[in-house]
Amino acid sequence: MVSWPSAAARRVRTWNCSEVLVYEEADRPVAGAGQVVVRVAGTSLNLLDVAIRAGILRHTYPVNFPHVPNCDVAGVITEVGERVNGWSAGDAVVAFLPATAPGAAAEYVTAPADLLAAAPRTVELADAAALPLAGLTAWQALFEHAEVKAGQSILINGAGGGAGGYAVQLAARAGAAVTATAGPRSLDRVRSNGAGRIVDYTATPVLEAMAGQRFDVVLHLVRNSPEETARLVDLVADGGAFVSTTTPGPEDAGRGVRTEQVFVRSDAARLAELVARVDAGTLRIDVAERRSLADLAAVHDQAVAGRLRGKTVLIP
């Protein structure tokens, strides 16, 4: 019999408010076939983790209790299961893990080997956990849904957040003219990410600031009402695209405008491309705050209250 030392993990015993997040000893995971065990250097908070903990997504993402949350991981492989090729103990990796499996709010996590990408070499390993889910969301929204091209105009609504930070950088690098909305705490960061024009949404409502203007693409990253969302679709030029990670646009927007909703998925090959950009210095991982994993419940509360800006990395 092989026995493993136990390892600390944040676990959720039921869906509810953040108090259900309990920091406790858990069995150290073992790599099954096609899996590796990763010693977690860092994980990052995504609103998906908060929504799963709260039970908002219980039908889409059913989890077994006690559940260890967190989809983003950066760490070092400590064990390789059967039928895993190309990865060895000691490799530094990042991944967007399946949301319903035991997650990375722990010292150790199992990861499907086919979801792994080598971690960037040019940033702290823990900070690399800020890349997978938010970076893939931005990529898939811009290039798989909106099909953004050089020379196009794009409005990124909610550019101050984690996904928005990557979206502004990737769209600007692709040669699009980026207009962004951001609050005062994020203005400088959004500007340095490559937005040519920024509207402070706390000073002027976006619809008022953009009155009479149209964009080839509107990327919508803010949760609001269907009515407000429909008015944002009016900012899309004829034949353009409205892509949302939150409230969907109307199915038939007219004027040849496509409305699409993003459901981010793990994609190891694309994640490796994003990592290559980080190492080439063309994509920045911006970590707003580093916190102890023991603070996870407080971080959830801050996220719900809208007090987090950008990416928060949690370190076990």
Ligand X SMILES: NC(=O)c1ccc[n+]([C@@H]2O[C@H](COP(=O)([O-])OP(=O)(O)OC[C@H]3O[C@@H](n4cnc5c(N)ncnc54)[C@H](OP(=O)(O)O)[C@@H]3O)[C@@H](O)[C@H]2O)c1
Q: Applying CB under 6 A, does 219 fall inside the site for ligand X? A: no
Rounded to 5°, angle at Cα 130 from 89 and 229: 140
Token duo for residue 152: 């196009």
Stretch that binds ligand X, among 73-81, 99-107, 144-152, 175-183 (CB under 6 A): 175-183
Q: Is 278 exposed, middle or buried (0-12, 13-18, 19+ CB in 10 A)?
A: buried
Sequence-distant (6+) residues with CB within 8 A of 241 are 145, 146, 147, 216, 217, 218, 257, 258, 259, 260
Query: What residues from 105 to 144 belong to the interface with ligand X (CB under 6 A)?
Result: 134, 137
Among 69, 158, 240, 249, the residue binding ligand X under the rule CB under 6 A is: 158
Among 44, 179, 186, 193, the residue binding ligand X under the rule CB under 6 A is: 186
> Which residue number, 41 or 47, has a Cβ lying nearer to ligand X?
47
Token duo for residue 208: 């008022």
Q: Which residue is nearest to ligand X (CB)?
A: 161
> Which residue number, 110 or 186, has a Cβ lying nearer to ligand X?
186
Q: Applying CB under 6 A, does 180 fall inside the site for ligand X? A: no
Main-chain dihedrals φ then ψ at residue 50, nearest 5 degrees: -65, -40
Q: Applying CB under 6 A, does 157 fall inside the site for ligand X? A: yes
**Residue type (1 letter), 225:** S
Q: Applying CB under 6 A, does 172 fall inside the site for ligand X? A: no
Q: Applying CB under 6 A, does 149 fall inside the site for ligand X? A: no
Antiparallel, parallel or unpaired: β 215-220 and 236-244: parallel
Question: For ligand X, what does the binding mask look like between residues 264 and 283, x meaning CB under 6 A?
Answer: x-------------------
Sequence-distant (6+) residues with CB within 8 A of 9 are 23, 24, 25, 26, 68, 102, 105, 106, 107
HSE-CB at 277 with a 13 A cutoff on CA atoms is 20
> Which residue number, 144 or 273, has a Cβ lying nearer to ligand X?
144
Task: Provide, rounded to whole angstroms, the least separation between the CB of residue 131 and ligand X.
Answer: 12
Sequence-distant (6+) residues with CB within 8 A of 196 are 172, 177, 178, 179
Question: For ligand X, what does the binding mask look like between residues 287 and 306, x meaning CB under 6 A?
Answer: --------------------
Size of the site for ligand X (CB under 6 A): 26
Q: Applying CB under 6 A, does 103 fall inside the site for ligand X? A: no
CB 186 within 8 A of CB 210: no
Among 83, 149, 223, 255, the residue binding ligand X under the rule CB under 6 A is: 223
Task: For residue 142, count other CB atoms closer than 10 A to its CB.
Answer: 25
Stretch that binds ligand X, among 88-96, 103-111, 182-190, 293-301 (CB under 6 A): 182-190
Token duo for residue 234: 């009016």
CB 222 within 8 A of CB 160: no
Identify the H or E element spanning 271: helix 268-280
In whole angstroms, give the CA distance from residue 56 to residue 294. 23
Query: What residues from 227 to 266 belong to the interface with ligand X (CB under 6 A)?
Result: 245-246, 262-264
Q: Applying CB under 6 A, does 222 fall inside the site for ligand X? A: yes
Among 104, 221, 275, 293, the residue binding ligand X under the rule CB under 6 A is: 221
Q: Applying CB under 6 A, does 97 fall inside the site for ligand X? A: no
Among 181, 193, 266, 302, the residue binding ligand X under the rule CB under 6 A is: 181
Give Dmax (Cα) for the chain.
Answer: 71
Task: Provide, rounded to whole angstroms, the least separation between the CB of residue 183 and ligand X.
Answer: 3
Q: Applying CB under 6 A, does 309 fall inside the site for ligand X? A: yes
**What is the contact surface with ligand X in residues (CB under 6 A)?**
46-47, 134, 137, 157-158, 160-164, 181-183, 185-186, 201, 221-223, 245-246, 262-264, 309
